[in-house]
Structure 1
Amino acid sequence: MKILGVESRSTLHSWKSKAKARQQIKLGRDTLERISYVLGIYKAINILLPIAERADRWMHAPNDAPIFGGKSALDRLTSGNVSDLFIVRQYLDAERG
């Protein structure tokens, strides 16, 4: 929920029920931006670490890179700030080259 910037569980449940019913879901610009970053992060991490278990470990493991400050990528992503999604995406894109 924090990654998507969702404040309440009812919003998330509403999205899920509409998706199941194949109804249109109206998302705000902030949410769409967050989804874009998440998809970019997913793509980059799967290119860098194509074995799912390694990618999962990397997301959860403490990281010595300066942008993580010893915390995991997931810690940074769940801060609630859209800028943190951008920074992690930018980091992974730079690692890809």
Structure 2
Amino acid sequence: MLTLERIETSGPAFRADPITQDEGAAMFRAAFNLFGKWDVTDEQAAVLLDMPVRTYRRWKAEGPGRLSRDGRARLSNLLGIHKALRIIFTEAARGYAWIKAANSAFGGASALDIMLGGELTDLMRVRRYLDAERAGW
């Protein structure tokens, strides 16, 4: 007969250290370069980062301002997507092109189309898909 063992759950849950503002600024610069590789417009980048286009353009020219927790989470997911694509595709250009290619997993929409839904969960959906695809690696 199988018996269940009690697992202690009263201790503190694991929680990663929050992303600092300096780390967020570095992530913004990396994402800005990535948007160029993905051929993303300023308007699209602003949607991905959930900020006004005017703010995105100012940050692009002058460097990022203070990033919200949501903004840092968005940047983390965008860079996670990039990392997964670099693992899946040995040729970087194929990974960059994949972002705009129609994908049956997304009902014929591209990953960029999904991400342009504007919600953090849209970015997470693409990241989870890619993480699942590379799980066998």
- Length-normalised TM-score, structure 2: 0.61
Post-superposition offset of 1:80: 0.6
Match of 2:123 in 1: 85
1:26 aligns with 2:66: yes
Q: 2:55 aligns with which of 5, 8, 11?
A: 11
Q: Distance in 1 between matches of 2:90 and 2:66?
A: 33
Bigger shift: residues 38-47 or 48-57:
48-57
Residues 34-56 of structure 1 deviation map (CA, whole Å, 9 limit, x = unaligned): 00100100000111013122112
- Amino acid in the other structure paired with 1:78: L
How many residues are treated as equivalent by the alignment? Answer: 90
Q: Distance in 1 between matches of 2:101 and 2:80?
A: 20
Greater RCO (CA < 8 Å, at least 6 residues apart): 1
Unaligned runs of 5+ in 2: 1-45
Unaligned runs of 5+ in 1: none
Q: 2:101 aligns with which of 58, 61, 69?
A: 61
Post-superposition offset of 1:32: 0.8
Runs of 4+ in 1 over 2 A off after TM superposition: none
Post-superposition offset of 1:10: 2.1
- Length-normalised TM-score, structure 1: 0.83
- Amino acid in the other structure paired with 2:87: I
* Cα root mean square deviation, aligned: 1.4
Q: Distance in 1 between matches of 2:127 and 2:69?
A: 18
Match of 1:70 in 2: 108
